[in-house]
Structures are given as C-alpha cells and as structure tokens.
Amino acid sequence: MSQVLGLGTQLDTIRFCSLISDALKSSPTQTRALILGEHGDSMVPIWSSATVGGLSLDKYPGWNSVLAEKIFTRTKGSGAECLSKKGGAGFAVGIAIRDVIHAIALDQNRILPVSTVQDGACYGIRDVAISIPTVVGRAGAIQRVEIDLWPKELQGLRASAAAIKPTLDTVMKRVG
C-alpha cells in the first residue's frame, strides 16, 4: 500500500492509555485505547473501543463522563505540557518511534494509529494524511483498518481531516 507513513497519533495514543490507566489505577499493560485523526487540536479519542482488561470503560469501576473529559483534555495538552516543563517530548516520542520501527523491522503486522494519505477506502476520507488504524509491517503501511466508530467519533474524524486539508492545500500550492 505505502512505504511512506508518519508517526501520526501513536504518541498521543500512548499518552492517552497511560492517563486512562493512571486515572483508574489499572494495569497499563491491560489498557487499550486509540487517538485518531491529526496529531493536534482536532485529534479524536476513540472511546467506543477503549478497554481495560477487556472491559469496556463504561463497565469499569470508577469510570464516568467527567473523568473521560478530564483525561482527553490532559491528553490534548500533554505535548505542550512536556514542552513547557522539559523542553520536549523526551523519551515518550522515542517509545512511539520505536513501536513503528519495530513493527516495520520485525515485520510484526501490528495495528498502529499511523498517518498515511487516505484514498477514500476508510471512512470516506481522501487526499489528506491522517491517522487511522493501520497494519504496519516490513512493507510499511500494509492495510488500513476501518473499525466501527460511534457517530460522534466518525464526525470528529472527518472534521479532523477537514481541519488539515487547508494546510495541505497551501503546501501543495507552494510546491507546485
């Protein structure tokens, strides 16, 4: 499919899972969640498939919508927080890069939220590079995976793509 891919929202996803785990005092290795869309203000939390120990978050003790909003707000602000406190993302971005490199070098066929140029096959989004679940292996981005999303999540993902489009159009005008 494509040997060109970006780190996308892998770092955001790692932070998101860490914050969920921390808030629920649960095992980090049992926390699964995704951030999709752009790595920026229009990123989209995918609550519909988020789990801890295989339980959906709405069934996990202590989970509620106020906590969800707090976690997502902190996730969105984590990059700026790292910059202001430490001057950069430090080791966290290294872990995200390692995940992508290992998936490629070890031909893991691992599903990661990396950024690739969309062709309309998933969620009807095209001609913009955003993060969606993607099988990553030796050949790069092998296959995009369209997971079921809540209507609000799908709307957010499409809005994220639309938010990036003007920047892409500006860059392409300068290149062309």
Residue 98's domain is classified under what CATH number?
Answer: 3.90.110.10
Residue pLDDT, tens place only, 42-69: 999 999 999 999 999 999 999 999 999 9
Q: If DSSP codes are grouped into helix, strand and coil, which group holds residue 71?
A: helix
Tell me what the pLDDT averaged over the chain comes to: 91
What is the per-residue pLDDT for 1? Answer: 63
What is the per-residue pLDDT for 80? Answer: 53
Residue 4 lies in a domain: no
Residue 3 lies in a domain: no
| Count of domains for the chain | 1
Residue 67 lies in a domain: yes
pTM of the model: 0.91
What is the per-residue pLDDT for 82? Answer: 55
Residue 129 lies in a domain: yes
Q: Per-residue DSSP letters for 95-138?
A: HHHHHHHHHHHTT--EEE--EEEEESTTTT-EEEEEE--EEEET
Q: How many CA atoms lie within 13 A of 40 on its CB side?
A: 12
Residue 76 lies in a domain: yes
What is the three-state SS of 11-41?
HHHHHHHHHHHHHHCCCHHHEEEEEEECCCC
Which 8-state DSSP code applies to residue 142? E
Tokens standing for residue 74: 């902190």
- With 90 as the cut, is the pLDDT of residue 8 above it? yes
Tokens standing for residue 146: 């369209």
Neighbours of 28 (CB within 10 A): 12
Q: Pick the more confident residue, 88 or 169.
A: 169
* Candidate list 39, 45, 136, 144, residue with the active-site label: 39
Residue pLDDT, tens place only, 63-120: 999 999 999 999 998 765 555 566 555 677 889 999 999 999 999 999 999 999 999 9
Residue 123 lies in a domain: yes
Residue 119 lies in a domain: yes
What is the per-residue pLDDT for 169? Answer: 81
What is the per-residue pLDDT for 20? Answer: 97
- Average pLDDT (165-175) is 81
* Domain membership of residue 137 as a residue range: 10-175
- Decide if 102 is catalytic: no
- Average pLDDT (141-156) is 97
Residue 51 lies in a domain: yes
